[in-house]
C-alpha cells in the first residue's frame, strides 16, 4: 500500500480520521509507524496528501489529515475484458486500476466458463476491494468506471459503436500479425480475451464493429502480463 485510502465515513472531524481493521493493521504491522510519523493518504474520489499519526492503539488509530494534491490523471483507455477465472480477475482488476485504466467493462466470451459469473469474487464488495487495492498500489484515489455486460454480441453490436466514438478500437489477439501500435495520441478502446483466447468469430464480430486485431509478438502472454505490456505500448 503506497497510499492509505480514506473514505468520507472515516472522518470524525474535517481533518480527523479514525481507522480500525485492515488499514490499522497495515500502518502498524507493515509500515510500522509510530505516533508523530507521517504517511501518504488520499480520499476516495478526492485529493491526496499527508497525514500525521496522532494515536495508535491496539484496535484503532487516529490521523490528522492534510489533502492538498491532486491524483494522477487516468489513461484515456477503455478496457473490454473477457471475464477471467476468479483468482485472475482479482489480479487483473487491481493491476488495470493501478495502471490507470479509466473504464473497465467485463464481458462474456465463448471461452469464459459460466461458473465464473457466479463466483463470490463477482460480488460488488470484492470488485470494489480489488480496485481499491489497485488505487492504494498506484497512489490514486479515483476508481475506474467498472461495468459488466453478460451478453457479448448485443454489447458489441448495439453499445460499442457509440462507446468507441473518438477512440482507436483495438482487439488484442496473438497471431493477428499486426503489431500493436505504440504511443497512441488518441484515446483507445482495447479488447482483451479470456485465458483461452477469443474465437475467430469473436474477433470478426469486433472487426465488424471497427476493431483492428493487433498483437504484441509471437509470445502468448497471461492476461495480466498482456494487459501491462499493451498499456505501456499504447500509452
* Between 6 and 79, CB nearer to ligand SAH: 79
Which set of grid coordinates corresponds to residue 30? Answer: 507493515
Name the segment binding ligand SAH (CB under 6 A); options: 16-24, 68-76, 90-98, 187-195.
187-195
Shortest spacing between CB 123 and ligand SAH, in angstroms: 24
The DSSP output letter for 37 is -
Cβ pair 109, 202 in contact under 8 A? yes
The answer to whether 156 contacts ligand SAH (rule: CB under 6 A) is: no
The answer to whether 41 contacts ligand SAH (rule: CB under 6 A) is: no
The answer to whether 179 contacts ligand SAH (rule: CB under 6 A) is: no
Q: Which residues contact 39 (CB under 8 A, 6 or more apart)?
A: 4, 27, 31, 33, 50, 51, 53, 63
Q: Report the residue from 197, 203, 209, 231 that binds ligand SAH according to the rule CB under 6 A.
A: 197
Shortest spacing between CB 181 and ligand SAH, in angstroms: 12
* Between 164 and 226, CB nearer to ligand SAH: 226
The answer to whether 221 contacts ligand SAH (rule: CB under 6 A) is: yes
Q: Which residues contact 58 (CB under 8 A, 6 or more apart)?
A: none
* Between 60 and 220, CB nearer to ligand SAH: 220
* Angle of helix 86-99 versus helix 223-234 axis, rounded to 10: 20
Q: Report the residue from 193, 202, 203, 209 that binds ligand SAH according to the rule CB under 6 A.
A: 193
The answer to whether 196 contacts ligand SAH (rule: CB under 6 A) is: yes
Q: What does R_g of the chain's alpha carbons equal in angstroms?
A: 20
SS3 at position 147: strand
Shortest spacing between CB 83 and ligand SAH, in angstroms: 12
**Cα(220)–Cα(232) distance, integer angstroms:** 17
The answer to whether 134 contacts ligand SAH (rule: CB under 6 A) is: no
Please give, one letter per residue, the 3-state secondary structure of 160-171.
Answer: HHHHCCCCEEEE
Enumerate binding residues for ligand SAH (CB under 6 A).
172-174, 192-193, 195-198, 215-217, 219-221, 223, 226
Amino acid at each position: 500500500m503506497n497510499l492509505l485510502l480514506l473514505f468520507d465515513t472515516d472522518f470524525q472531524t474535517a481533518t480527523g480520521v479514525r481507522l480500525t481493521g485492515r488499514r490499522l493493521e497495515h500502518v502498524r504491522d507493515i509500515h510500522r509507524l509510530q505516533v508523530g510519523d507521517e504517511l501518504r493518504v488520499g480520499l476516495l474520489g478526492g485529493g491526496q496528501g499527508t497525514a500525521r499519526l496522532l494515536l495508535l492503539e491496539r484496535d484503532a488509530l487516529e490521523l490528522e489529515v492534510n489533502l492538498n494534491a491532486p491524483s494522477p490523471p487516468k489513461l484515456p483507455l477503455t478496457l473490454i475484458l473477457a471475464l477471467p477465472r476468479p483468482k485472475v480477475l482479482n489480479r487483473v482488476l487491481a493491476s488495470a486500476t493501478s495502471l490507470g485504466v479509466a473504464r473497465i467493462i467485463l464481458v462474456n466470451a465463448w471461452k469464459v466458463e459460466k461458473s465464473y459469473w457466479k463466483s463470490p469474487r463477482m460480488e460488488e464488495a470484492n470488485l470494489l476491494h480489488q480496485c481499491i487495492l489497485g488505487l492504494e498500489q498506484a497512489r490514486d484515489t479515483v476508481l475506474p468506471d467498472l461495468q459488466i455486460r453478460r451478453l457479448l454480441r448485443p454489447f458489441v453490436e448495439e453499445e460499442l459503436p457509440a462507446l468507441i466514438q473518438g477512440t482507436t478500437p483495438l482487439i488484442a489477439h496473438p497471431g493477428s500479425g499486426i503489431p500493436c501500435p505504440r504511443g497512441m495520441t488518441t484515446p483507445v478502446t482495447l479488447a482483451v480475451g479470456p485465458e483461452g483466447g477469443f474465437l475467430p468469430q469473436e474477433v470478426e464480430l469486433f472487426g465488424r464493429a471497427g476493431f483492428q486485431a493487433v498483437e504484441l509478438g509471437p509470445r502468448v502472454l497471461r492476461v495480466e502480463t498482456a494487459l501491462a505490456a499493451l498499456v505501456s505500448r499504447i500509452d
